[in-house]
Amino acid sequence: MRQQQIEADSAGQRLDNYLLKILKGVPKTRIYRGLRKGEFRINKGRVKADYRLVEGDILRIPPLHQPAPSAAPMIPGFWAAQIAQRIVHEDPGLLVINKPSGLAVHGGSGLNYGLIECLRQLRPEDRFLELVHRLDRDTSGLIMVARKPAVLRELHRQLRGEGVDKRYLALVAGRWPKERRIVEAPLQKNIVQSGERMVKVDREGKSAVTGFSIVEQFADATLVEARPITGRTHQIRVHAQFAGHPILGDSKYSDDQAETLARSIGLKRLFLHARSLRFSLPEQPPLQLEAALDDDLEFILKNLRK
């Protein structure tokens, strides 16, 4: 049996989420069973899983088998250098990174590391670093990483509403029609036989809405700004495909014509970039952050203009 005092950074967090974070390796079912049986106590009293922690609370933790932590993965120097150079904003509660294409946001699915593991090794003095939201591995651009639990909770609250304005640039196949400003189509996650995660439009899926506007027209392609009003997996990519204009360089949601066009202009990656974020945190002025397109994507646009 051990006791742990709750610090200010964890105040307001749900008890079950806090336990899942500090008891790495303990099965989730074991933690929730202990909560139901009253094995975890706050200030000597029984509490439910959704209890919100208060600074100074004394948490009693029963004896549990917790596997020894595995060694942290070695982060290649290339990615470490890239991330260190691409910090767009930093304050006591938040980091905003211009994530490079090709780097996953976290390890898993055969990957030993991602952006968050890289940051934790680069910044060991940061006791708390958690992703606020996600970007696909091949998508570049702005991503938020919380340095305090309270900031994470506040930004999650805003993301569930309309408190965070996110804008993306995408190069799509064909000429996007000016009148098509909204794509609204429900999305359903699906696993194909190869084990690759895919998403498809399905009336049984979750509601999904994306706003699109034309930034620049080319002969066979269009640079568009995409604003995800909801936050579903692969939303912009699938909605662009559903509209008949797949994003160029997209190996999952494309067609033969778009793939041929991407090869002809020398595009070797997904042309999707999270270019701007606008939001505000309590007692701070509003933040408007932007990240310019990477050089390889700017090179593609320059060639198209010629």
CA distance 145 to 168: 18
Q: How many residues does the chain have?
A: 306
Sheet with strand 45-46: strands edge to edge: 2-5, 58-61, 41-42, 45-46
Work out whether the CA dihedral 178, 137, 133, 49 comes out positive or negative.
positive
- Distant-in-sequence contacts of 184-187, Cβ < 8 A, 24+ apart: 184/208, 184/209, 184/210, 185/238, 185/239, 185/242, 187/232, 187/233, 187/234, 187/235, 187/238
Name the β-bridge partners of 5: 58
Question: DSSP letters along 151-192, please?
Answer: HHHHHHHHHHTTS-EEEEEEEEES---TT--EEE--EEEEE-
Catalytic residue numbers? 136
Whose CA is closest to 232, among 209, 204, 251?
209
